Chain A
């Protein structure tokens, strides 16, 4: 059985990009649940945001509509603001309790 013709026929559709986005989103969510370092947890949130961006751009192309790309633009801005505020909080916490991880931060627990 020759697989070369099958490979030659292979064509990327929008679904491939969406599946890649789904994989990236799942990996990011697993990382967010597993890791304890707040900085690495932020990186996992960035992974999930990027998965959504990829899906937006894919659907913008599939529907031939620029609205999806505009949405990505706003997601980028909000991600930047989120990282700035989040890292500010991390710096404030780490200054008080060096080496704290996500489990140590249970001060708000009732």
Chain B
């Protein structure tokens, strides 16, 4: 067994255990911690595939920022108690969801096994050069994809402004001159 095989098997186990943990743990905090497990496994697989910079970003942004945001909201809202997973409002929902998931997996598996990896290469550059991964990625990002990169900053500004407006406390109730209470 090559080193990559061993790394793949261990990381794949971590990823799948974490993913199943997200959907079966009743407690939202436990689900969030299982999500961290999956994200770390994915980061390991990124390193195994020579995507060093993305692995670092994965740990910093996903495990660092996004999961902390999740935990923050869970604590803030005080929903950190286990929900009862035994209650099923719709009787057929779970079997139907399971069948859908298995069918989706079968479809994807068929596509992977039957198909072969083809495709036109982009002008972005090769990964297997002398250059470090981060240099190749940066050259691609700031030359070919620079417009998308700039549009991304607009997206982030819109997201921040929108969230502030959404999550702001509604202004205190004021009575206007007709006496009707307005929110």
- DSSP majority for the B interface? helix
Q: Is B175 an interface residue (CB 8 A)?
A: no
Interface code B66-94, partner A: CB below 8 Å = 1, 0 otherwise? 10011001101111000100000100011
Q: Is B98 an interface residue (CB 8 A)?
A: yes
Q: Which residues of B in the span 131-147 have a Cβ within 8 Å of any Cβ on A?
A: 133, 136-137, 140-141, 144-145
Complex partner residue of B35 from A47, A60, A65, A92, CB under 8 angstroms = A47
- With contact pairs A50-B38, A64-B127, A65-B127 given, residues A103 and B77 touching in the complex (Cβ less than 8 Å): no
- With contact pairs A34-B93, A47-B35 given, residues A99 and B79 touching in the complex (Cβ less than 8 Å): yes
- Report A34 CB to chain B, min CB distance, Å: 5
- Report B136 CB to chain A, min CB distance, Å: 5
Interface code B1-24, partner A: CB below 8 Å = 1, 0 otherwise? 110110010001001100110110
- The answer to whether B127 touches A61 (Cβ under 8 A) is yes
Complex partner residue of A94 from B77, B128, B141, CB under 8 angstroms = B77
- With contact pairs A26-B104, A88-B167 given, residues A43 and B2 touching in the complex (Cβ less than 8 Å): no
- The answer to whether B137 touches A73 (Cβ under 8 A) is yes
Q: Is A77 an interface residue (CB 8 A)?
A: yes
- The answer to whether B167 touches A91 (Cβ under 8 A) is yes
- With contact pairs A46-B66, A61-B50 given, residues A22 and B140 touching in the complex (Cβ less than 8 Å): no
- Report A74 CB to chain B, min CB distance, Å: 6
- Report A76 CB to chain B, min CB distance, Å: 6
Inter-chain CA distance A58–B70, complex, in Å, is: 28
- The answer to whether B148 touches A74 (Cβ under 8 A) is yes
- The answer to whether A84 touches B159 (Cβ under 8 A) is yes
- Report B112 CB to chain A, min CB distance, Å: 5
Q: Please, could you name 24 A-B residue pairs with CB atoms under 8 Å apart, sorted by A? A: A10-B5, A22-B105, A23-B16, A23-B19, A26-B108, A29-B104, A39-B31, A39-B70, A39-B73, A39-B79, A50-B38, A54-B42, A63-B121, A64-B121, A65-B122, A70-B140, A73-B54, A73-B141, A78-B152, A79-B62, A80-B65, A87-B69, A88-B167, A92-B166
12 more CB-based (< 8 A) A-B contacts, given A27-B19, A47-B19, A57-B45: A10-B1, A10-B5, A17-B49, A23-B16, A34-B23, A34-B94, A69-B54, A79-B62, A84-B159, A90-B77, A91-B73, A94-B77
4 tightest A-B CB contacts, nearest first: A31-B23, A30-B101, A33-B97, A22-B108
